[in-house]
């Protein structure tokens, strides 16, 4: 009798619990994760603690380093074209430049090509973008947008919004530094605009630290009395480069690659920092450079002292902008934690490309050299990603969209050329069949007085092979035809020599020794060229539509 009563009592006690569990399962289905994609402009891996560069000892990004340590860090994330607009187009389309049609700064991404927000809306997401857009057409496929016009201003920036007038006539004025204002707008959207019944996808894009660097006044004294570690290659570039980037007997070093020092006569950082100098004149016209100035550049002891002075100011301005980004990311994370949103939100942080901070005496980006090509990239999502994970798997910015779509519960559409690395995020392991290389292409030959020759190449974990084809993009194979991109802003309309460069990154991570002509690497060169041919064909990145470029490729493909 006692046994029967006990069973009844137990059943009565457990029955409500079973019902409540059933109701909970019915009423509270698994919620899709929110996604916040944070991107800073020109925030390069050298300007983090987590990537172990010479600047890491300055602790420039304590909040971002903490965020990265709570998730997975990618050491081999690369841009496919190191310039703002093409990079952003690749991120939103999952496609390379020729597939999405955005090869330069003039390219625009029309509504029908804004694939990432389109696909995520199909999966039930509310979508928003705040900050830098820079893709010219209206970001109409986002449910909400408040974006900078073009590059936007550092202080008191205007923003374009959806409104009664046609794009881009609906303008909202703001007050303050852009990094602060962009974060204010994002927080306001999270508090007042988002639908709490839907998962959200938010792109939070800083303008900073794009040059010319302007920090919020509260950072004026940051690093004021600190010596910034300098790259050795700024003073001695050793065997980096080729005739394609230096000219015969280094005769083109005065015009190729905008510089920290006064090496580049057309555009160097001293021009920006010391405009009142009698020695320097802003943006010299290459046509005014006399033939006797095209000589091998050698840095004197006085020039080294001056270059160091310029570099110190240049880097402090840059790092003060980075500091503003880092602090504002903390503001965003603090809000998410306060509102209980942090744990169910996938948080991605990256830059739109890398940036040269004096390495090889270069500033800006555009190069396939490591500092410009490598992107910072890390992801936090405790539900699926183990804290403290790190990987050297190769990914590029066309892989972002497929991955986010799959993390949101969908499948990447076939028109995307990138590949989802969701499995790497969740396991920390690289699948055996994962891509072993990445492709790069820079089109804007000698544009904007930065003096970067057009080039393309392949990067594996150990090697980097670059071909500088040194030609303008024109619509005809007539070598005398006028190039069709006057808006690129050059008055130095000339071709540069074609040349190959090969770097063994396992022995030479700083790319100081071009070993292309070394007989010991003959087999490596042949293998990489074959891989490059296959990559270009698979990605539809050949030059079949540009016969004048293809002619140069054919003539120099087998150069020794």
How is the chain split into domains, by residue range? Answer: 232-308, 439-556
Q: What is the pLDDT of residues 219-228, one digit of tens each?
A: 999 999 999 9
Rounded Cα–Cα distance for residues 321 and 317 (Å): 7
Q: What is the pLDDT of residues 450-483, one digit of tens each?
A: 999 999 999 999 999 999 998 776 555 555 444 4
Please give the pLDDT value at position 471: 79
Determine whether 555 is exposed, middle or buried from the number of CB atoms within 10 Å of its CB (0-12, 13-18, 19+). Answer: exposed
More confident residue, 441 or 547: 441
The per-residue DSSP string of 105-153 comes to: TT----GGG-HHHHHHHHTT-EEEEEE---SSS--TTSSEEEE-STT--
Rounded Cα–Cα distance for residues 237 and 414 (Å): 44
Please give the pLDDT value at position 481: 46
Q: What is the pLDDT of residues 153-169, one digit of tens each?
A: 999 999 999 999 999 99
Kindly indicate whether the domain formed by 439-556 is annotated with CATH number 3.40.50.970.
Answer: no
Rounded Cα–Cα distance for residues 268 and 262 (Å): 6
Rounded Cα–Cα distance for residues 457 and 502 (Å): 10
* In the block, residue with structure tokens 């007989």: 519
Average pLDDT over residues 85-104: 96
Q: Is the pLDDT of residue 484 over 50?
A: no
Please give the pLDDT value at position 495: 81
% of residues, the chain, pLDDT over 90: 80
Average pLDDT over residues 273-278: 49
Rounded Cα–Cα distance for residues 115 and 404 (Å): 12
Q: Is the pLDDT of residue 388 over 60?
A: yes
Pick the range with the lowest mean pLDDT from 127-136, 194-203, 264-273: 264-273
End-to-end alpha-carbon separation of the chain, Å?
A: 97
Residue pair 200/127 in contact by the 8 Å Cβ criterion = yes
Cα 505 to Cα 329, 358, 499, 531, distances in angstroms: 33, 19, 19, 17
DSSP label of 294: -
pTM for this prediction: 0.92
Q: What is the pLDDT of residues 290-320, one digit of tens each?
A: 777 777 788 889 899 999 999 999 999 999 9
């Amino acid at each position: 009798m006692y046994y029967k009563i006990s069973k009844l009592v137990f059943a009565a006690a457990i029955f409500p619990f079973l019902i409540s569990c059933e109701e909970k399962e019915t009423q509270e289905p698994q919620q899709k994760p929110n996604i916040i994609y944070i991107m800073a402009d020109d925030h390069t891996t050298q300007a983090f603690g987590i990537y172990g560069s010479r600047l890491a000892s300055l602790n420039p990004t304590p909040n971002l380093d903490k965020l990265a340590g709570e998730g997975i860090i990618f050491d081999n994330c690369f841009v496919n074209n190191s310039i703002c607009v093409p990079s952003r187009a690749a991120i939103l389309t999952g496609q390379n430049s020729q597939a999405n049609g955005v090869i330069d700064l003039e390219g625009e991404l029309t509504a029908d090509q804004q694939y990432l927000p389109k696909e995520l809306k199909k999966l039930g997401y509310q979508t928003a973008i705040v900050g830098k857009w820079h893709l010219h057409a209206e970001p109409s496929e986002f449910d909400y947008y408040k974006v900078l016009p073009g590059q936007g201003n550092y202080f008191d920036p205007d923003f374009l919004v959806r409104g009664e007038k046609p794009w881009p006539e609906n303008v909202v004025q703001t007050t303050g530094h852009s990094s602060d204002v962009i974060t204010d707008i994002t927080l306001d959207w999270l508090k007042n605009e988002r639908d709490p019944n839907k998962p959200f996808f938010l792109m939070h894009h800083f303008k900073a630290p794009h040059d010319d660097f302007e920090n919020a006044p509260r950072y004026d004294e940051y690093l004021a009395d600190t010596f910034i570690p300098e790259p050795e290659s700024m003073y001695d570039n050793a065997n980096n480069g080729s005739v394609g980037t230096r000219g015969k007997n280094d005769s083109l070093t005065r015009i190729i690659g905008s510089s920290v020092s006064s090496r580049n006569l057309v555009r160097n950082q001293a021009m920006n920092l010391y405009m009142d100098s009698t020695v320097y004149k802003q943006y010299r016209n290459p046509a005014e450079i006399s033939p006797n100035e095209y000589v091998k550049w050698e840095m004197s002891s006085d020039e080294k002292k001056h270059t160091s002075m310029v570099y110190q100011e240049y880097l402090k301005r840059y790092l003060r902008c980075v500091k503003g980004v880092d602090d504002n990311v903390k503001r965003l994370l603090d809000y998410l934690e306060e509102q209980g949103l942090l744990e169910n939100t996938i948080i991605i942080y990256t830059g739109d490309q890398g940036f040269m901070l004096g390495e090889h005496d270069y500033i800006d980006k555009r190069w396939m050299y490591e500092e410009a090509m490598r992107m910072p990239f890390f992801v936090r999502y405790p539900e699926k990603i183990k804290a403290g994970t790190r990987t050297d798997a190769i990914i590029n910015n066309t892989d972002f969209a497929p991955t986010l779509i799959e993390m949101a519960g969908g499948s990447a559409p076939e028109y995307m050329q990138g590949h989802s690395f969701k499995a790497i995020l969740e396991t920390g392991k690289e699948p055996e069949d994962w891509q072993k290389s990445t492709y790069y292409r820079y089109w804007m030959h000698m544009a904007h007085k930065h003096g970067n020759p057009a080039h393309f190449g392949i990067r594996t974990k150990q090697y980097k092979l670059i071909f500088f084809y040194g030609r303008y993009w024109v619509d005809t194979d007539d070598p005398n035809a006028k190039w069709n991109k006057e808006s690129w802003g050059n008055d130095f309309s000339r071709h540069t020599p074609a040349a190959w460069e090969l770097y063994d990154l396992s022995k030479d991570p700083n790319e100081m020794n071009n070993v292309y002509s070394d007989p010991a690497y003959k087999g490596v060169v042949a293998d990489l060229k074959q891989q490059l041919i296959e990559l270009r064909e698979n990605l539809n990145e050949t030059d079949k539509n540009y016969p004048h470029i293809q002619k140069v490729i054919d003539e120099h493909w087998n150069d020794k």
